[in-house]
Amino acid sequence: MTPAPLPARLNIPGGPLFFPVTAYGPDGSLDLDTYRTHVRRGVEAGAAAVFACCGTGEFHALTPEEFERCVQVAVEETAGRVPVVAGAGYGTALAVRYARVAYAADADGLLVLPPYLVLAGQEGLLRHYREVAAATPLPVIVYQRDNAVFTPETVVELARTEGVVGLKDGYGDLDLMQRIVSAVRTEVPGGFLYFNGLPTAEQTQLAYRAIGVTRYSSAVFCFAPEIALAFHRALETGDTATAHRLLDGFYRPFVELRAQGRGYAVALVKAGVRMRGLDVGEVRPPLHEPSEDHVKRLAQIIERGYALLEEGK
């Protein structure tokens, strides 16, 4: 692991946050060589960090042994150039186990996904994330979504918890997020990190940026890094013309296509990576592949996105 703390590294201006897909071979088994290539290309393209084995990486579909190997490969390929944050999840006992595996694999931090299945109260959620944070020295980013949605008061307590350094929002309630940011700023000054973690976060990033959430995950970076980087630069430089051109001509059509199938936030991304020349295999069950018509539409959207980049030159 690099000596620099994770929050400091994530505060360095850079590119989008890269959530690589997990590569599988024709028989459905893990393809570490292709995964290695995918991670390396992302880092070389300008990713600010690698979030390995998270939602886009099908954390839910990996065995602990596969998880360990993927995190190890991500750490090897980044070679300290950017931080590697590993996913962790399920119930508290398993989340702790995954956290310890990630720590042994030399990850730089954890993105802790919602606990499996149960609808817990705020007290139970707080206890869950505190136990995961206490399990290793790794900094923890808490992922708010689905059955893990927090009150501002709970996020204040999370921000006071040793080891918890940030909140990734995949819920999408901007009023709630504004109240969370305000409460933590008031009660726990000191640089708590926030991330926009909605699917295709670029679509909502202008709104998130207005409330102070400047970091975001980019699934598009997996298959169209030039488009993702152009949008990121537009945000950083205040180039609203470019941002709007890409939103209107690429991101909105992509989001509308993504809405045509459950699990497409992952399945379409893997299809896009294959389309761009790297065979990362299909998604594992219970996800399913996009229809043939949807794959054709994806190809048209990607083509249009690159054409928009040319128009802007």
Q: Which residues contact 162 (CB under 8 A, 6 or more apart)?
A: 133, 134
Residue 103 known to be catalytic? no
Is residue 255 situated within a structural domain? no
Chain-centroid distance of CA 38 in Å reads: 15
Kind of pairing, strands 215-218 and 193-196? parallel
What's the one-letter identity of residue 180? I
- With H, G, I as helix, E, B as strand and everything else as coil, classify residue 28: coil
Residue 98 known to be catalytic? no
* CA dist list (Å): 206 to 72, 235, 240, 245: 34, 8, 10, 13
Q: Provide the token pair at 207.
A: 């709104």
Write the DSSP assignment of 113-136 as a string of letters: PPPSS----HHHHHHHHHHHHHHS
Structural domain that includes position 74: 6-224
* CB 214, CB 231: distance < 8 Å: no
Q: Provide the token pair at 198.
A: 């909605």
Mean pLDDT per 10-residue segment, the chain (313 residues): 74 87 97 98 96 98 98 97 97 98 98 94 98 98 97 98 97 98 94 96 97 96 98 96 97 98 97 97 98 98 97 79
What are the helix (H) ranges across 16-151?
Answer: 32-45, 64-78, 92-104, 122-135
pLDDT at 14: 80
pLDDT at 15: 87
* CB 188, CB 161: distance < 8 Å: no
Q: Provide the token pair at 253.
A: 């059509």
pLDDT at 4: 66
DSSP, res 91: S
Of 103, 117, 109, the closest CA to residue 85 belongs to 109
Q: Provide the token pair at 222.
A: 């997996």
Classify 115 in phi/psi space as left (phi over 0), alpha (psi -120 to 50) or beta. beta
Of 92, 104, 185, the closest CA to residue 130 belongs to 92
* CB 223, CB 42: distance < 8 Å: no
Question: Residue 71 maps to which CATH number?
Answer: 3.20.20.70
- With H, G, I as helix, E, B as strand and everything else as coil, classify residue 217: strand
pLDDT at 3: 53
Among the options 24, 35, 129, 168, which is catalytic?
A: 168
Query: What does R_g of the chain's alpha carbons equal in angstroms?
Result: 18
pLDDT at 312: 74
Among the options 24, 35, 129, 143, which is catalytic?
A: 143
Give the position of tokens 């730089």: 108
Of 154, 258, 249, 163, the closest CA to residue 201 belongs to 258
Is residue 275 situated within a structural domain? no
- Counted domains in the chain: 1
Is residue 170 situated within a structural domain? yes
* CB 47, CB 18: distance < 8 Å: yes
What phi and psi values does residue 249 have, to the nearest 5 degrees?
-95, -20
Is residue 1 situated within a structural domain? no
